[in-house]
């Protein structure tokens, strides 16, 4: 446990000023227990973030902004990367959905061809089957990426 976590000079306040809601929302939950009951504490020369549930604390720093940055650590960047990966996977799934709709239209068109054009129908059907297999592979890969991102 961190020794400096016991000194609470200005809990929720700094130098007589109320802590802004913007600062409170910038704080990520406690990395030790997951609690959202975290606050920036300190005095004139030091600031740190600590959790009121488990007494976990970040390192003392010279500014409250640095204390928040160190508390949040790489978790904020990691969350941003996860969101970007999820957006990428979702756009890929949407692209595949649109592609499948076009393939279904092509399938309907082949089905409506007159029987006199059997050779043309067989050629187009073979090409469509190849596209459907490719679609299936890409769809499976996209879903695998989605599952990986969601972990």
**Which residues, other chains included, contact 96 with Cβ-Cβ below 8 Å and sequence gap of 6+?**
135, 138, 139, 142
Least confident of 18-22, 51-55, 119-123: 18-22
Per the model's pLDDT, the better-predicted residue between 49 and 82 turns out to be 49
29 and 69 in a single domain? The answer is: yes
Residues spanned by the domain of 45: 3-73
Residues 10 and 63 grouped into a single domain: yes
Say yes or no: 7 and 53 in one domain: yes
pTM of the model: 0.43
Q: What is the dihedral of CA 72, 73, 74, 78, to 10 degrees?
A: 0
Do 27 and 41 lie in one domain? The reply is: yes
Number of domains in the chain: 2
Q: How far apart are CA 71 and CA 27, in angstroms?
A: 8
Q: What is the pLDDT of residue 130?
A: 92
Instruction: Indicate if the alpha-carbon torsion angle 8, 12, 17, 19 is positive or negative.
Output: positive
For residue 47, what are the β-bridge partners?
Answer: 42, 61
Residues 20-29 have a mean pLDDT of: 59
């Amino acid at each position: 446990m961190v020794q400096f976590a016991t000194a609470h000079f200005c809990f929720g306040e700094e130098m007589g000023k109320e802590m802004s809601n913007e600062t409170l929302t910038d704080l990520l939950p406690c990395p030790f227990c997951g609690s959202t009951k975290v606050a920036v504490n300190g005095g004139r020369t030091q600031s740190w973030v600590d959790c009121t549930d488990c007494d976990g604390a970040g390192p003392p720093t010279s500014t409250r902004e640095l204390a928040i940055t160190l508390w949040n650590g790489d978790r904020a960047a990691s969350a941003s990367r996860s969101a970007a990966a999820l957006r990428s996977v979702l756009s890929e799934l949407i692209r595949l959905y649109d592609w499948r709709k076009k393939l279904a239209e092509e399938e309907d068109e082949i089905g409506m061809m007159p029987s006199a054009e059997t050779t043309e129908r067989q050629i187009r059907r073979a090409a469509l089957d190849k596209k459907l297999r490719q679609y299936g592979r890409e769809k499976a890969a996209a879903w695998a990426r989605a599952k990986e991102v969601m972990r």
